[in-house]
């Protein structure tokens, strides 16, 4: 423990103030009423009590500067999801003699964190470990650190309060990742085929682009094209062929990290929502046996080459968790050109961005470049404020102007989307909260249609 500060407790301030008022009040009253000699004597008694209090306070101060030997250890995950609450456990241990007391702990959170309840109140008892808990919520992605915890203790007579800090071993290095709760939910529900609870739809397969998986007994609803007549003749009952989505295909995610993605509709930016969607789609694609690569483009390019295997999600997490959207406009053509050089094999290229009217020409040029080799899907994020403006009542002329402007802008977005779709490019337009599910469904629909 390191002593940081000793300051008077409320008890000492109250006693000093009270005795001073009584002493000087008695002296003043004695001056006004000379005949009342007992007032002067009473004043001397209060002054003597004030001096005695000073002696006691001095002795208590000396003892307060020798706090008990305490140490604080912290237990929490090394990786935290942004915007989600995580339980933190603090354990206080001691060496040597200890008197029972109640202390307060202020953990060393930074300005990019929220904690409730803080400070934590802990009762210390000799020979026992004391524990406290609080909920920690990280507000920004990236590397961060919890500093040494500080403890507020009472002096033995309660006249002083002491602020001490724990040793350096109590510091914790943490990584704040994009919210991977959607992946955990998908993993849990996928085992029971309940992914529809997340909004992810499983539709019957169609098309010819499917790989043969196995033979099985005929089930009601199987098409005649699925029947394997040779196996049926050998076994004397209907046998169907079962197919699975094609595997070992390539998926590329191009995630805009420019200034447009700094916009916020809630506690998360559009870029944070894009990363969450990227993680979910990557995980689903890797489970399907595909290879996934990710390119972020903005002020700088950051490329994570494609790999197969569910473990590649960790590579993507560690490669992007500290990336923040920049203040410069994104260069779509530069990103598309880089991707054309980095990925020679035909892939599903998913572009996640938030466009404005002035970006359309450059965006279309970049999408056309990607389309020359890849199957392209554009995910265009739409601000929630636009949807809210469409349902708000129109009562005044200003409301009518705002509503008209929003409708004009939305029609411009729809026209841009029609222009992109007419060029053979798939497109979705959605709010940040809808992005992850819409992207996952689009990927699964493309796979089941055998378009790659």
Quote the pTM value: 0.73
The contacts of residue 353 (CB under 8 Å, 6+ apart) are 256, 260, 261, 330, 332, 363, 378, 379, 380, 381
Q: Are strands 348-353 and 375-381 parallel, antiparallel or unpaired?
A: parallel
CA 273 from centroid of its chain's CA atoms: 10
Euclidean distance between CA atoms 378 and 353, whole angstroms: 8
Distances (CA, A) of 76 to 23, 135, 174: 54, 10, 9
Q: Is the peptide bond before 117 cis (omega within 30 degrees of 0)?
A: yes
- pLDDT value for 182: 61
Residue 48 above 50 pLDDT? Answer: yes
- Domain 69-177 and domain 250-449, same fold? Reply is no
pLDDT bin (cut points 50, 70, 90) of residue 194 is very low
> Where do runs of H (alpha helix) occur along 172-299?
181-190, 229-235, 270-287
Evaluate whether 214 touches 242 at the Cβ level (below 8 Å).
Answer: yes
Euclidean distance between CA atoms 257 and 275, whole angstroms: 10
Instruction: Please give the structure tokens belonging to residue 287.
Output: 């489970």
Per residue, the 3-state secondary structure of 249-273, as one string, reads CEEEEEEECCHHHHCECCCCEHHHH
Q: Which of 50-54, 329-333, 348-352, 365-369 has the lowest mean pLDDT?
A: 50-54
Does the CA dihedral 342-344-345-348 come out positive or negative? positive
Instruction: Please give the structure tokens belonging to residue 298.
Output: 């903005």
Q: Is the peptide bond before 119 cis (omega within 30 degrees of 0)?
A: yes
Q: Any idea where the domains of the chain sit in the sequence?
A: 11-64, 69-177, 250-449
* pLDDT average, residue stretch 303-322: 94
pLDDT cut 90: percent of the chain above it: 46
Euclidean distance between CA atoms 415 and 369, whole angstroms: 21
By residue count, the chain amounts to 452
Residue 429 above 90 pLDDT? Answer: yes
Q: Which CATH architecture has domain 250-449?
A: 3-Layer(aba) Sandwich (3.40)
Residue 392 above 80 pLDDT? Answer: yes
Collapse the DSSP code of 58 into the 3-class scheme (helix H, G, I; strand E, B; otherwise coil) and give the result.
helix
Which range of 37-41, 95-99, 107-111, 334-338 scores highest in mean pLDDT? It is 334-338
- pLDDT value for 68: 80
pLDDT bin (cut points 50, 70, 90) of residue 206 is very low
Q: Which of 22-36, 91-105, 325-339 has the lowest mean pLDDT?
A: 22-36
* pLDDT average, residue stretch 40-59: 84
- pLDDT value for 192: 43
Q: Which CATH architecture has domain 69-177?
A: Sandwich (2.60)
Comparison of pLDDT for 204 and 41, the residue scoring more? 41
């Amino acid at each position: 423990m390191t002593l940081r500060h000793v300051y008077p407790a409320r008890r000492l301030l109250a006693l000093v103030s009270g005795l001073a008022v009584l002493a000087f009040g008695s002296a003043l009253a004695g001056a006004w009423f000379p005949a009342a000699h007992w007032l002067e004597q009473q004043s001397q008694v209060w002054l003597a009590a004030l001096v005695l209090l000073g002696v006691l306070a001095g002795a208590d101060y000396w003892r307060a500067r020798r706090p008990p030997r305490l140490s604080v250890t912290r237990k929490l995950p090394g990786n935290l999801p942004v915007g989600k609450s995580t339980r933190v456990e603090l354990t206080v241990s001691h060496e040597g003699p200890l008197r029972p007391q109640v202390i307060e702990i202020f953990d060393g959170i930074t300005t990019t964190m929220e904690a409730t309840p803080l400070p934590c109140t802990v009762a210390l008892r000799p020979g026992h470990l004391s524990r406290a808990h609080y909920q920690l919520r990280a507000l920004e992605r990236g590397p961060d650190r919890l500093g040494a915890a500080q403890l507020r203790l009472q002096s033995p007579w309660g006249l002083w309060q002491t602020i001490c800090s724990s040793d350096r071993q109590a510091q914790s290095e943490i990584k704040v990742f994009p919210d991977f709760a959607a992946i955990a939910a998908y993993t849990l529900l996928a085992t029971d085929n309940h992914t529809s609870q997340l909004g992810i739809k499983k539709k019957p397969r169609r098309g010819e682009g499917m790989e043969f998986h196995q033979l099985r007994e005929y089930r009601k609803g199987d098409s005649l094209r699925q029947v394997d007549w040779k196996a049926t003749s050998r076994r004397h009952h209907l046998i169907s062929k079962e197919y699975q989505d094609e595997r070992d295909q390539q998926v590329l995610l191009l995630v805009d990290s420019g200034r447009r993605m700094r916009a916020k509709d809630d506690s998360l930016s559009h870029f944070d929502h894009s990363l969450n969607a990227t993680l979910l789609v990557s995980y689903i694609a890797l489970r399907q046996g595909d290879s996934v690569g990710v390119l972020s483009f903005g002020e700088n390019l950051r490329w994570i080459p494609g790999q197969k295997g569910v473990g590649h999600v960790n590579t993507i997490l560690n490669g992007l968790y500290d990336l923040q959207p920049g203040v410069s406009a994104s260069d779509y053509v530069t990103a598309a050109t880089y991707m054309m050089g980095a990925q020679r094999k035909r892939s599903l290229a998913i572009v996640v961005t938030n466009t404005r009217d002035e970006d359309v020409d450059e965006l279309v040029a970049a999408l056309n470049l990607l389309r020359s080799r890849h199957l392209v899907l554009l995910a265009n994020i739409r601000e929630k404020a636009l949807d809210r403006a469409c349902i708000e009542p129109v009562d005044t002329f200003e409301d009518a102007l705002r509503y008209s402007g929003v409708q004009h802008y939305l029609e411009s977005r729809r026209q841009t989307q029609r222009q992109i779709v007419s060029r053979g490019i798939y497109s979705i337009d959605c709010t940040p909260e809808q992005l992850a599910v819409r992207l996952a469904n689009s990927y699964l629909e493309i796979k089941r249609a055998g378009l790659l």
